[in-house]
Amino acid sequence: MPSTWTSKAMWKAVIYVVILKAASDIAAHYLWDRAWYSNVPAELWMEPTEDETQSHNDFYFDKLPRDTIISFILTPLNYWFQCWLERVLPGRARIAPSANVSSEKPLIEKTVEGDEELEEEMMRRLLARGKVQRSTLSWVNTALKWLLINVVAMEVFGLCISAFRGIWRRNSARVIWWELKTVCTPLCLLRDPTEADPPLQSLWTTPLDHIFSLAPTTSLLSLIIIPVQHRLTFMAAAELTFNVFLGAFANVLIPWLMTKEWALDILRNASAASRSAALDSTHVTVTWLEPTDGVSVDL
């Protein structure tokens, strides 16, 4: 589908998705930080060095630009994948040129070249004039596309995101490869027997995060009711709406929880465990030897 890469529809979708995802991240960060730092006592924060200023700096000068660049790189690939799926597994039967629609022949010929906006315009014209009837939805093709998006594409794009984040942090190739195996279960089969295993819980983090996110639902809705060129924009807009709603809900829920002793007890225990683990991971054992031998540091 060569025209997909140069189509206005694709680059319009890329710009919209990048803007919506950045807005979604900013809204989620602002609302969650306000709910957490404004209502939870400092002694119950999860990390010893945690503070609101550091959180803002980490987000605006590291996470946000990193994720925006990743989104700009991967969205065209995702758009092409969505268009390819729609051509291989069409949700509705495509319209073939016929004598009944001869007046639309130039538009149909352009559509064959792969411009999704022209296809949508042609459908609107023909439906409005009563020359064609909208075909029924193919539930089999829709189910197959949904599985490919939420199983195969989820793993592939998850690997790409993990690799880009490792490169952003200037990690070595060995560290990046190990991190890839923590987000993709099949890659564990390729591990070196002498290498430390990725944590078992990490292997399921990406699939579980995806399953319990809004993505499976919005992807299914988009496959049923949204034209292919608008699907990524629809899903990004749904994510922004959901994050705003969830953040607003957290600003109501967390202050209420802070008035309940059982919630404070749970948070105290979680905070103590988190702080202990953080301190243990940075613990340094110093063994003093003879003055001429220097210092041996065991990290």
Residues 241 and 269 placed together within one structural domain of the fold: no
Q: Is 286 helix (H, G, I), strand (E, B) or coil?
A: strand
Residues 69 and 145 placed together within one structural domain of the fold: yes
Residue 288 pLDDT: 40
Residues 299 and 153 placed together within one structural domain of the fold: no
Residues 53 and 194 placed together within one structural domain of the fold: yes
Among residues 238, 235, 274, 42, which one has the least CA distance to residue 157?
235
Question: What is the count of structural domains for the chain?
Answer: 2
Q: What is the pTM of this model?
A: 0.75
Residues 210 and 288 placed together within one structural domain of the fold: no
Most confident of 43-47, 60-64, 177-181, 182-186: 60-64
Domain that holds residue 245: 2-93+135-259
CA distances from 66 to 202, 237, 247, 261 (A): 22, 20, 22, 39
Q: Is 297 helix (H, G, I), strand (E, B) or coil?
A: strand
Lowest mean per-residue pLDDT among 52-56, 60-64, 165-169 = 52-56
Residues 284 and 208 placed together within one structural domain of the fold: no
**224 vs 186 pLDDT, higher one:** 224
Q: Residue 43 — very low, low, confident or very high, per pLDDT cuts 50/70/90?
A: confident
Residues 285 and 253 placed together within one structural domain of the fold: no
Residues 141 and 246 placed together within one structural domain of the fold: yes
Mean pLDDT of the chain: 77
Please state the separation of Cα 63 from the chain's center in Å: 13
